[in-house]
């Protein structure tokens, strides 16, 4: 698989990464351990070298899983993880105090079974801790050799600029896809100006862009999509227009809707590296194949024109989480 470069410090990763959250957290019951390890190792065998985790996924279990799965080839891959929530639990609010960041770094190193964290993201901007202080703490960790690169997640333009002035930001991880294009307004131009990579999470719209979800779909009891307005029955029905558009283009390209959605992202900017997650080997292989799909300028214009006729319905986060994004 082709490689891409994140940030001016030139972190080289595969053009697609693997978002590992769903193996342990967020989308219903956790995947059985050996099946999850098999999937992660299959991803590596197929050319993926970029794996994304966080202390909050589980909490803690995802990092342990990744540490075990990647052990045989740890030196050949890039591992990203995150700090920023009280006791590693998003429901308890943010905590990016310097002492907490240091504690997370030490504990993540042990769970990941590694000597260095390749990319250390602040999971959400903490309104109670100046972003310059956060960046300074990570800068110290980089100088100590415990971290290699600094990242932010769902941060706004002002926070990105302030952090970058203290410690160069290698990547911003934020939601970006055919059904959430808000980053195109200010975020992507800022990243391009500063030389920061973009790592889109939920590049398949939390599964919606695969075409496998409709208004009749029932999610597991502990699937967080049950709380997302965009996934209520009425909005799922309204948003089928986007899925139908993708399906039509996919048919023309002899591809799947998911592959077109990922290929579209890869064609936006050379510094964009999506991290689709999955728990199924056949979906992993499907996603990986998207890196080989070529979309012409005509194809991209056709998608753009069709998207102008579609108004995606529903907020992407429940109201209680909205105040944690874009700060």
Active site amino acids: 57
Residue 168 Cα distances to 52, 100, 155, 165, 221, angstroms: 20, 21, 14, 7, 41
Q: Which helix or strand (DSSP H or E) is residue 170 part of?
A: strand 169-175
Contact 159, 132 (CB under 8 A): no
| Residue 202, phi then psi, degrees to nearest 5 | 50, 45
Contact 211, 247 (CB under 8 A): yes
Q: At 113, is the secondary structure helix, strand, or coil?
A: coil
- DSSP labels, 296-315: -HHHHHHHHHHHTT----S-
Give the burial class of 34: count Cβ atoms within 10 A of its Cβ; 0-12 exposed, 13-18 middle, 19 or more buried: exposed
Give the burial class of 219: count Cβ atoms within 10 A of its Cβ; 0-12 exposed, 13-18 middle, 19 or more buried: middle
Which residues lie below 8 Å from residue 35, measured CB to CB, with a gap of 6+?
279
Cα–Cα distance measured from residue 19 to residue 109, given in angstroms and rounded to the nearest whole number: 19
Cα–Cα distance measured from residue 33 to residue 171, given in angstroms and rounded to the nearest whole number: 29
Residue 266 Cα distances to 190, 223, 282, angstroms: 18, 28, 21
Tell me how many degrees the CA angle 183-185-190 measures, rounded to the nearest 5: 75
């Amino acid at each position: 698989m082709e490689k891409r470069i994140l940030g001016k410090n030139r972190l080289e990763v595969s053009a697609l990464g693997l978002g590992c959250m769903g193996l342990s957290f967020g989308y219903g019951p956790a995947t059985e351990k050996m099946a999850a390890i098999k999937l992660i190792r299959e991803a590596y065998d197929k050319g993926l070298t970029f794996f994304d985790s966080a202390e909050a996924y589980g909490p803690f279990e995802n990092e342990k899983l990744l540490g075990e799965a990647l052990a045989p080839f740890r030196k050949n891959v890039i591992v990203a993880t995150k700090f920023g929530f009280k006791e590693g639990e998003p429901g308890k609010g943010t905590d990016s105090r310097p002492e907490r960041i240091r504690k997370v770094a030490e504990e993540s190193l042990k769970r990941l079974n590694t000597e260095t964290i390749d990319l250390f993201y602040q999971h959400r901007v903490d309104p109670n801790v100046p972003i310059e202080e956060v960046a300074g703490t990570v800068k110290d960790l980089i100088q100590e050799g415990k971290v290699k690169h600094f990242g932010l997640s769902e941060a706004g333009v002002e926070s990105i600029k302030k952090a970058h002035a203290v410690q160069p930001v290698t990547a911003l991880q934020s939601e970006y896809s055919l059904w959430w294009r808000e980053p195109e307004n200010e975020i992507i131009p800022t990243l391009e100006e500063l030389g920061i990579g973009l790592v889109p999470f939920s590049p398949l719209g939390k599964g919606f862009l695969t075409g496998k979800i409709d208004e009749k779909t029932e999610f597991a009891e502990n699937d967080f999509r049950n709380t997302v307005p965009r996934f209520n029955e009425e909005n799922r029905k309204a948003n089928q227009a986007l899925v139908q558009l993708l399906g039509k283009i996919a048919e023309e390209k002899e591809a799947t809707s998911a592959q077109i959605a990922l290929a579209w992202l890869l064609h936006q900017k050379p510094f964009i590296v999506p991290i689709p997650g999955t728990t199924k080997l056949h979906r992993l292989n499907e996603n990986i194949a998207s890196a080989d799909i070529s979309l012409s300028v005509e194809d991209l214009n056709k998608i753009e024109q069709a998207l102008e006729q579609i108004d995606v319905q529903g907020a992407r986060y429940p109201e209680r989480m909205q105040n944690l994004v874009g700060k």
